[in-house]
Structure 1
Amino acid sequence: MKKVLASLLLLAGLCAQAKPTVFPVSLSCNDMVNPVAVSDVSFSWKLRSDVRAASQTAYELWVGSTPNCGGDVWKSGKVVSDDQLDITLPPTVTLEEGKRYFWKVRIWDGSGKVSPWTKAASFTKSIDNSWEADWIATGKTEDGPFPYFRKTCLIGKGKVRRAVVYLCGLGCSQLYLNGRAVEPDRILDPAQTDYDKKALYSAFDVTSLLVGGKNCIGVMLGAGWYNQDKVWGGGMTYGRPILRCQMRVEYASGKVETIGTDTSWKWADGPLVSSNVYQGDEYDATREIDGWCEASFDDSSWNDAVKAGGVIPVRMAAQEIPPMRAFAPQKASAMWRSSKEGNVWIYDFGTNLTSEVVFSASLPRGVRLQTIGSEEIDPRTREIDVASTGVEHVGLQKDSYTFAGRGKETWMPVFTYHGMRYVELTVEGSDEEPALDWITRAPVHTDLATIGSFECSDHQINYLHDIAERTFINAFVGLPVDCNQREKCGWLGDTHAYDRAADMLFQMNNFWVKYLDDIRTTSDVSLTNTLFHKYYNNQFYFADKEAGLPFMIAPGKRLCGVASPDWGTAVVQLPWHLYVYYGNKRILRDYYDMMSHWVRHIASTAVDGIVYEGLSDWCPTFSSHEHNGTVVEFSSSAFHLLDLGIMVKTARLLGKEEDLEWFEKQEEYVRKAIVSKFFNPLKCSFGGQTADAMALELGLFPEDCRQEATQAIMYDINTGHKFLDVGVFGLSRIGSELSRNGASAQAFGLFTKKGENSFGVMVDSLKVTTLWEILPVQGDIYAKSHGSHNHPMQGGYESWILEDVAGLRPVEDNPGFKTVMFYPQHTADLEWAKATVDTRYGVTSTSWRKEAGKLVWDIVIPAGADGLVHIPEGKKATVDGEAVSFGIKSLNGEDFQVFPSGSYHIVVE
């Protein structure tokens, strides 16, 4: 029996007579749970419901100054809206910096029933503009051991309601209180920025660590990214480390005391002899000062701090991304003696990871362990091969620990990180053979929540998914770096090659917001005689740079010139993708001017609509950049067209009518120019595999030529290397564009191919554990590649795996997975696939399998959202055993059934 929403209408009628069916849960402020320091406050929540078609029709939100949250700060009143994300306070509400606030929400469901109020969540307003602390330093001008700083303070009588320490040590710092590290697993804190313009500070709730009477605040400083001159040249340094620290103590009586850095703080050289994010940390435990952070310690022989001079950040902001953390140490899977002279050993940890070496042994005083991390070993000698990790003579990825002879000693560097699978250990001062557990390895990365998962019936697809996921998280270290061992720089072009895939695997919203601010901060300078690239590393020129134009890299001292068209497009794509994947409309408002400036700048450089500068499809599998069929002027022009299309949609969303007219006209002009110059109607091609994939994405082919375009791609493959000849921009598109244009079997065949010229070489022969800078699909030719072996820009294909193989996609018209598209591209050789994404609205999932000639499909749509489900043409579907029609919606020329929220068991036959 066919039903048209009958069951849902009946359910709604029953609900109207019952209790509310939808409840707000998972309250967050700026996508953080009870943040201790937050700048621009916004509120979000998810919905929980046990019924289908659950929705929110209105909400009420209160903000208060006490835990019972009586709404004394603000009451929204009943707001008729289904909005759940990024609700902001009106400009008339002023929040006191450093003060803790509480908020709660209730919602009305589709039947008009109101939920109970949630339990109050909290947030603390940041102290961006109300610091009561000086920048201090040691006053030393020469290199040498890094300092300890300390300050004793007296906590007054009365119950302490709350104590928060705000800390910014540059380049990086570790906080101690009363003899212990506050968060010992927190490393390289704060995240890298352009330190002369902006510095981030971290906030720590230390209420439980204070004692009555005397307490001691301690800080250990390191360099981190503060001195890039160790690798990139003498001018790339900000100077000697500096410190700003403030503890705010609030008593139950309402009294507030502040202890801030000033010249009364004391310092002494510590055991950290040298520190650099590239070269590593050197720690001499014989220099440790017992009890240095205890309140009872006698610091009369220590030096007085001085007010810091030199480079001082212009502004400060709370760090609103998770910190970098070290996770549970791992033992090596094997170790063997090196053939090098001395007591030298090689440890194999099995996978290539961003990590720290953890030293742990009982050795006599003065014995020194030195480690060098590498991604590879030379298969002939079984010695480490450091070529992929940078210039060997600068001593990259090297740490050392000198023992104090105090029994079991354990130490882990906290101001550096390395990309490595193998570790060479040298024992100096002892002939004792090391044990397997003398060194272990702690994975480190920004502590981003994992929100996505994938699995299918094909081993190679699973393998490609796993190494993409591992490569991504290896690159997230307070910013998205190109590689985790050599350059460690935030190249703009790398990010837009894979950000959409990462957005479905990790909670990236705040991370990308921070990086976009890095780009804007770095670019906000006008310069004369600045490096521009016509063709990167080939032809360049010097010209004046306008403020607002991005550089190739952000943040930091190493910039590598003004961004090329195909790299700078990140300033347009990243905000748009945050909107599509996270429903973040605020980012479009905040970065609209930067996006518009970039697009207008590129338009001014074009000749008859064609952009002639750029890098083209970077790091292709076979060809040089100039000869894989996708020329610079096509890819740069295509990215310009892509940016124009985004600006049309963004201007329309934000009501920028005058800009909208210009963007629309320019988009049409550039579209016609690209087709006129590059389209070959006889071959139905724009020049190569990447060019044709981009042209399909941009709708450049005549509608009746799209299937011929996929045939042109396959012809180029079959008459060439019998495999993909694409770089990072082609690889991030070609799977999806083939699949979505009638060639899903061919796409699947390319990604599952074995033997010569295939991903199978990486999986079966080389058994790579991360994605290399140039993918070694040719076996021996590239197996000895000395490029980086962890480059996330090569992982853009993961979008095809999640969005086309599993079939989960966001919908631009209702972003952030408010509407979920379920559209798997089934092929004969794949038996099943499943994926899950914990969106900002809640968990959505798909799990499909072939069973006795039928497609059995389970989907979940979070409460407050809906789904567009694609049933293959000519097939019939039942839902929970019944034929049900939820209504039809056409999108991009295809029909979808519109499912309300809930869990569904679908059988297609």
Structure 2
Amino acid sequence: MKKQIVLLLLMTFLLNHLYADEKWTAKRIAANESQNESNVWTDFVKTFDLEKVPPKAIASIACDSKYWMWINGELVVFEGQLKRGPTPEDTYYDKVDITSYLKTGPNKIAILLWYFGKDGFSHNSSGQEGLVFQCDAIDILSDATWNGRIDRAYEYTSRPYPNYRLPESNIRFDARRGNFDWVKSDSENRGFRRVKIVGNAESAPWNNLVERPIPQWKNFGIKNYEQTVDLPYISKGDTLICKLPYNAHITPYFKIRSESGKVIEIRTDHYYGGGPPNVRAEYVTGAGIQEYESLGWMNGHHVRYYFPEGVEVLELKFRETGYGATFTGSFDCNDSFYNEMWQKALRTLYVTMRDTYMDCPDRERAQWWGDLVNESGEAFYALSPSAAHLTKKGMLELINWQRKDGTIYSPVPSGNYNRELPGQMLASIGYYGFWNYYLNTGDKETIEKVYDGVKRYLDVWQLNESGILEHREGDWYWGDWGTNIDKQSLFNAWYYLALKGYRNMSEVLGNNSEAVRVEKKMAEFKSAFNKQLWNGEEYRSEGYEGDTDDRTQALAVVAGLADPDKFTEIYQILQTQFYASPYMEKYVIEALFMMGYEEYGLERLKERFYEMVRDSKLTTLYEGWGVGRDGYGGGTVNHAWSGGGLTILSQYVCGVSPVEPAWKTIRIKPQLGNLSYAETENITINGKFSVEVSSNNKEYQVKATIPETSKAIVCIPDSYKNITLNEQLIWDNKELKNQAAVFLGKDNGYYQFQVEGSQLRFVAK
């Protein structure tokens, strides 16, 4: 018995050692004169000798709030570190491969740190600036041997400051007080002093350090603007407007000749995006030729530089950065409107991704989960699989920030916001949120981590004696922007979708008794929902007195609460009611496709989004149906919740979607509506798919490429009598003629065939 206990303890020790997190021996350091003031920039340097460069050198780096790193004068990391925090207490850290930047002999690490020093809708400030650096392969760690200084060239700008939602401050750099020569390998470390140690790597207020779960930013390098004045140009006190190729995250750059003491101002056309001021930059000139890049990212379609009189402008450029994913998806059809919509949705999606999914990249930069649900769905059809890491990060954060009473709220991370939006929270944990992530990735481990939190939040909701939700408003009783919002009906539909997602998660995790319990609850809830809220003509909650809400009807269909016997009435409603915002309009269009009214679904999609898609001045989609006074919620012009049309076009028009986790089984059920041709493709976690569908008076054709390890379920309208697969007859006059396909039966007017093989070509006549 003793031997068994000893063996068990030994195995436990070995497993803990094998799977342990980073072993931190580094200290948290700060400049000697640091007072933890907001918007402070600090320079750190460390010099050392290497007899031999190791085969692999991985540095672990943490800070509050952002850092830039050079080794031997070469830029290694452009804006490292994620905004805090993975939990309300903890901090992220980066792992960076620095091997290729090291050399034998003398080496120099230079790190510029930006401490926000204030909370925001996307950042939970620790209240203590500092740096942690550890690279065991070269035995370098942050300690009292490092040198540092407050960089006095960085200052506060004049007012106005960015609105309170943003943790970032404006950036002002005074070239009379400093420059970037200190990052060079051969520069002297003048003005530096030994740093002070402010704590262990993992100690309050930073607490646990959690490895960065998403890639480092893509750095597209310094680029030329599409449009500017002829250079060189001597300013007469002008604002030069430089056109960007599209809405992007950029850091502006210039090279000038000037006298000392002139103030240059930089902002984008989105400085007042969504209402209140966002971020801008100022630069105070030194004397002579000088170049400068303002390191805090901003976004927009144009960059506006104000140059005082007499400044000679030699170069104007920008650096684009963005989330570490690739544009691997595409869509094309015979109607240019939908092609443009798909591309604008993609651009809007990408510009709302960075530390977190964002509602917008200017006004808030906040991870609202109603937005994230739509954004994440779009990403699976448009971006490379690395985009899914941002969804996973958001899922873990949402549950890690769960309150003791079981409620959840967004945006998180956040230091100055904590209000629950019940509708968005139910959407987040449900079928289109957490479950859709699992369906596309097969990431069971993450589902295990969030599962208990999902159950705790569902337990917050209680049913009344009629079997539907007890009225509950949360902290912000919000259902959508706009008017005529039947919130209580919407919350009931979102609740059913949350139950659906939770039931599916229970099955995946082997909690079969819980899955059976929830399945029974769903059946009872559906019966009660229709008994209490369907009045014979429409869904309407007791006490709601507004016009018939198109959102409610659509969400009942999408959730599976409305049976086909109600589709005719709902279809008639969706032809006359237009209250949904661009956020909820995705579900309205989806309901039309699910009911089989795809022609009108495409028509309504075009009618509703026509203005923003055809807006030639913008490459992104609005928050509302208009901009400025014609919008709502602030009226930003880059809101990815408006990109639901991207999902509709790929998932429903081309008909491609996963039915088994990680795209192991793919359904291809095109719904062309009034289109004659459409195609889409992307790279999934299981490999690449492409689907091309065409239709004319004589034949209907589906060409598909699927991953080699996937199966496909291809659906062909049952109006066709003769069907071939790869030029072999498989169906004739309602009978299967070839074992190359397995007939799965009919479903809502479609023949269903299960097939294997990576190249498929169905022709129906």
Q: TM-score, normalised by structure 2?
A: 0.85
Paired letter, 1:401: Y
Pick one of 300, 303, 308 that aligns with 2:193: 303
Contact 2:269 2:300 in 1 (8 A): yes
Partner of 1:378: none
Structure 1: runs of 5+ lacking an equivalent = 1-89, 98-124, 250-256, 376-385, 527-545, 718-723
Alpha-carbon spacing, 1:693–1:729, altered in 2? closer, same or farther (3 Å): farther
Instruction: Work out whether 1:556 is the aligned partner of 2:426.
Output: no
Alpha-carbon spacing, 1:880–1:93, altered in 2? closer, same or farther (3 Å): farther
Contact 1:866 1:898 in 2 (8 A): yes
Instruction: Work out whether 1:591 is the aligned partner of 2:482.
Output: no
CA distance in 1, matches of 2:128, 2:421: 30
Contact 2:621 2:643 in 1 (8 A): yes
Instruction: Work out whether 1:244 is the aligned partner of 2:132.
Output: yes
Pick one of 167, 170, 194 that aligns with 2:61: 167
- Shifted more, 134-143 versus 599-608: the winner is 599-608
For residues 571-604 of structure 1, what are the alpha-carbon distances to aligned partners after superposition, in whole Å with 9 as ceiling and x for unaligned? 3443211111122222221211011111111237
Contact 2:45 2:146 in 1 (8 A): yes
CA distance in 1, matches of 2:13, 2:646: 45
Partner of 1:424: 304
Instruction: Work out whether 1:399 is the aligned partner of 2:277.
Output: no
Instruction: Work out whether 1:774 is the aligned partner of 2:624.
Output: yes
Paired letter, 1:701: A
Instruction: Work out whether 1:897 is the aligned partner of 2:744.
Output: no
CA distance in 1, matches of 2:479, 2:222: 38
Instruction: Work out whether 1:227 is the aligned partner of 2:118.
Output: yes
Q: 1:570 deviation in Å? A: 0.9
Instruction: Please give the residue correspondences for 1:361-400 in structure 2 after superposition, counting only pairs within 5 Å.
Output: 361-375=256-270, 386-392=271-277, 396-400=278-282
Partner of 1:746: 600
Alpha-carbon spacing, 1:151–1:780, altered in 2? closer, same or farther (3 Å): closer
CA distance in 1, matches of 2:619, 2:502: 38
Partner of 1:701: 562
Q: 1:824 deviation in Å? A: 1.0
Contact 1:836 1:844 in 2 (8 A): yes
Contact 1:733 1:797 in 2 (8 A): no
Instruction: Work out whether 1:710 is the aligned partner of 2:571.
Output: yes
Partner of 2:440: 581
Partner of 2:728: 882
Partner of 1:510: 389
Paired letter, 1:424: R
Alpha-carbon spacing, 1:205–1:763, altered in 2? closer, same or farther (3 Å): closer
Instruction: Please give the residue correspondences for 1:759-798 in structure 2 after superposition, counting only pairs within 5 Å.
Output: 759-764=609-614, 767-776=617-626, 782=630, 787-798=635-646
CA distance in 1, matches of 2:711, 2:207: 46
SS in 1 for 2:515: helix
Q: 1:852 deviation in Å? A: 6.4
Q: 1:362 deviation in Å? A: 4.2
Partner of 1:316: 209
Contact 2:623 2:635 in 1 (8 A): yes
CA distance in 2, matches of 1:516, 1:304: 41
CA distance in 2, matches of 1:670, 1:239: 47
SS in 1 for 2:364: coil
CA distance in 2, matches of 1:552, 1:190: 18
SS in 2 for 1:464: helix
Alpha-carbon spacing, 1:405–1:590, altered in 2? closer, same or farther (3 Å): same
CA distance in 2, matches of 1:196, 1:341: 50
- RMSD between superposed Cα atoms in Å: 3.2
Paired letter, 2:716: I
Q: 1:749 deviation in Å? A: 1.3
Q: 1:132 deviation in Å? A: 1.3
Q: 1:200 deviation in Å? A: 1.7
SS in 2 for 1:484: coil
Contact 1:278 1:486 in 2 (8 A): no
CA distance in 2, matches of 1:246, 1:312: 19
Contact 1:324 1:478 in 2 (8 A): no
Partner of 1:844: 689
Contact 1:732 1:796 in 2 (8 A): yes
SS in 2 for 1:182: strand
Contact 1:247 1:259 in 2 (8 A): yes
SS in 1 for 2:755: strand
Alpha-carbon spacing, 1:888–1:323, altered in 2? closer, same or farther (3 Å): same
Alpha-carbon spacing, 1:554–1:236, altered in 2? closer, same or farther (3 Å): closer
Alpha-carbon spacing, 1:668–1:422, altered in 2? closer, same or farther (3 Å): same
CA distance in 1, matches of 2:643, 2:430: 20
Contact 1:369 1:401 in 2 (8 A): yes
Partner of 2:140: 259
Q: 1:207 deviation in Å? A: 1.9
- Shifted more, 658-667 versus 486-495: the winner is 658-667
For residues 673-726 of structure 1, what are the alpha-carbon distances to aligned partners after superposition, in whole Å with 9 as ceiling and x for unaligned? 321222121458884321111111222223333344323322x34xxxxxx421
Q: 1:244 deviation in Å? A: 0.4
Contact 2:222 2:318 in 1 (8 A): yes
Contact 1:215 1:294 in 2 (8 A): no
Instruction: Work out whether 1:907 is the aligned partner of 2:763.
Output: yes
CA distance in 2, matches of 1:406, 1:195: 48
Alpha-carbon spacing, 1:192–1:304, altered in 2? closer, same or farther (3 Å): same
CA distance in 1, matches of 2:188, 2:513: 68
Pick one of 69, 75, 98 that aligns with 1:181: 75
Q: 1:500 deviation in Å? A: 1.4
Partner of 1:823: 669
Partner of 1:9: none
Q: 1:743 deviation in Å? A: 0.7
For residues 828-879 of structure 1, what are the alpha-carbon distances to aligned partners after superposition, in whole Å with 9 as ceiling and x for unaligned? 3x12111002111111110122356322331111111011111111212222
Give the length in aligned residue pairs: 714
Paired letter, 2:491: S
For residues 468-517 of structure 1, what are the alpha-carbon distances to aligned partners after superposition, in whole Å with 9 as ceiling and x for unaligned? 11111101011011110011111122212332122222222221111122
Contact 2:217 2:324 in 1 (8 A): yes
CA distance in 2, matches of 1:404, 1:195: 43
Q: 1:298 deviation in Å? A: 4.6
Contact 1:552 1:564 in 2 (8 A): no
Contact 2:426 2:498 in 1 (8 A): no
Pick one of 852, 855, 865 that aligns with 2:710: 865
SS in 1 for 2:713: strand
Pick one of 800, 825, 828 that aligns with 2:648: 800
Alpha-carbon spacing, 1:389–1:434, altered in 2? closer, same or farther (3 Å): farther
Alpha-carbon spacing, 1:563–1:739, altered in 2? closer, same or farther (3 Å): closer
Instruction: Work out whether 1:730 is the aligned partner of 2:584.
Output: yes
Contact 1:693 1:730 in 2 (8 A): no
Q: TM-score, normalised by structure 1?
A: 0.73
Paired letter, 2:198: A
CA distance in 2, matches of 1:669, 1:765: 47
Contact 2:680 2:690 in 1 (8 A): yes
Q: 1:277 deviation in Å? A: 5.5
Contact 1:611 1:637 in 2 (8 A): no
Contact 1:390 1:485 in 2 (8 A): no
Partner of 1:100: none
**Aligned residues: percent identity?**
18
SS in 1 for 2:456: helix
For residues 735-762 of structure 1, what are the alpha-carbon distances to aligned partners after superposition, in whole Å with 9 as ceiling and x for unaligned? 2221221211111111233xxxx42222
CA distance in 2, matches of 1:95, 1:296: 44
CA distance in 2, matches of 1:469, 1:91: 47
CA distance in 1, matches of 2:55, 2:222: 36
Alpha-carbon spacing, 1:363–1:192, altered in 2? closer, same or farther (3 Å): farther
SS in 1 for 2:139: strand
CA distance in 2, matches of 1:518, 1:591: 10
Q: 1:192 deviation in Å? A: 4.2
Partner of 1:690: 551
